[in-house]
Structure 1
Amino acid sequence: MQQYPPIPAVGDEAAPEFAGHLWLLEAVEGSILRFQLRESGAIRFGGQQRVYRADDAVPRPCRRAIRHVRERLDRAALRRAVDDVGSHTFVGWATHRERIDYDWERLPPFLGVDVYGAEDAFRPPDATETIFDRLGLDPANAIERERHSRDFDPGSYRIPESAWYDGPAAGVVIRDKRAGRAQLENSEILTQSKSSIASENADSLAAAVATDRRFERVATRLRERGQAPTVDELRDRVLEDVYREEHGRLFGGDRAIDESAFRTAVARRAQRFLGG
Structure 2
Amino acid sequence: MNAFPATPPVAEAPSELLSGHLWLLELIDGRPLRFQLQDSGLLRVGDAETVYDDPDAIPLPFQRAVRHIRESLDRDALRAAVDDVEGVTFFGVATTRESVPYDLGSMPPFLGTDVWAADDEAFRPPDAADGIFRRLGLDPINTFAREAHARDFSVDSYEIPGSAWYDGPAAGVVIRNKQGHRGMVSNAAVPTATTSPVSDESAAGLSIDALATEYATQGRINDIAASLRAAEQPVAVDVVTDRLCAAVGRHHPDAFLGVDSLDQTAFRSAVAEQVQRQLQP
Q: Tell me which residue corresponds to 2:171.
A: 170
Residue 18 (structure 1) shift: 2.3
Q: 1: distance between equivalents of 2:47 and 2:210? A: 32
Task: Report the equivalent of 1:116.
Answer: 116
1:202 aligns with 2:204: no
Give the aligned partner of residue 32 of structure 2. Answer: 32
TM-score by length of 1: 0.87
CA contact (8 A) 1:198 1:251 kept: no
Contact 2:211 2:248 in 1 (8 A): no
Structure 1 residue aligned with 2:233: 227
**Change in CA separation of 1:177 and 1:40 when aligned onto 2, cut-off 3 Å:** same
Q: How does 1:14-33 map to 2 (within 5 A)?
A: 17-33=17-33
- The answer on 1:268 being equivalent to 2:269 is no
Residue 53 (str. 1) matches residue 53 (str. 2): yes
| Structure 2 CA distance for partners of 1:203 and 1:2, relative to 1, 3 Å | closer
Alignment of 1:185-196 (within 5 A): 185-187=186-188, 188-190=190-192, 191-192=195-196, 194=198, 196=202
Structure 1 residues 262 and 251 mapped into 2: Cα distance closer, same or farther (>3 Å)? closer
**Mapped contact 1:15–1:181 kept (Cα < 8 A):** no
| Deviates most, 9-18 or 106-115 | 9-18
Contact persistence 1:9–1:15 (CA under 8 A): no
Is the CA contact 2:13–2:183 (under 8 Å) kept in the aligned structure 1? Answer: no
Letter in 1 for 2:211: L
SS at match of 1:61: helix
* Stretch moving more, 6-15 or 188-197: 188-197
Q: Secondary structure at the match of 1:161?
A: coil
- In the TM superposition, what is the alpha-carbon distance from 1:58 to its structure 2 partner? 2.0
Q: In 1, are the aligned partners of 2:125 and 2:178 still within 8 Å (CA)?
A: yes
| Aligned-residue offset at 1:93 | 0.9
TM-score, length-scaled by structure 2: 0.86
Aligned residue for 1:243, secondary structure, equals helix
Q: Which moved more, 1:212-221 or 1:70-79?
A: 212-221
Supply the AA of the counterpart residue of 2:185. L
SS of equivalent residue, structure 1 residue 7: coil
- The within-5 A match list for 1:27-176 is 27-117=27-117, 118-176=119-177
**Is contact 1:171–1:184 with CA below 8 Å preserved after alignment?**
yes
SS in 2 for 1:11: helix
Per-residue CA deviations over 1:113-156 (Å, capped at 9, x if unaligned) read: 11112211111111111111110111111121121111111222
Distance 1:8 1:223 in 2: 47
Identity %: 49
Question: 1:246 Cα deviation (Å)?
Answer: 2.3
Once the 2 structures are TM-superposed, how far is the Cα of residue 110 of structure 1 from its aligned partner?
0.9
Deviation by residue 1:41-64 (Cα, 9 ceiling, x = unmatched): 222222234322212332331121
CA contact (8 A) 1:35 1:46 kept: yes
Distance verdict in 2 for CA 1:50–1:265, change over 3 Å: closer
What are the ranges of 5 or more consecutive residues in structure 1 without an aligned counterpart? none
- Which amino acid is 2:271 matched to? V
Report which stretch shifted further, 161-170 or 73-82: 161-170
Letter in structure 2 aligned against 1:271? Q
CA distance 1:152–1:45, shift in 2 (3 Å): same
For the residue of structure 2 that corresponds to 1:127, the secondary structure is helix
Question: Structure 1: which amino acid aligns with 2:138?
Answer: L
Query: Helix, strand or coil: the match of 2:163?
Result: coil
Q: Distance in 2 between matches of 1:253 and 1:179?
A: 32
CA shift digits 1:150-180 (9 cap, x unpaired) = 1111222222211111222222111111111
The answer on whether the counterparts of 2:249 and 2:256 sit within 8 Å (CA) in structure 1 is no
The 1:217/1:93 distance shift into structure 2, 3 A limit, reads farther
Deviation at 1:213, TM superposition (A): 5.3
Partner amino acid for 2:127?
Answer: D
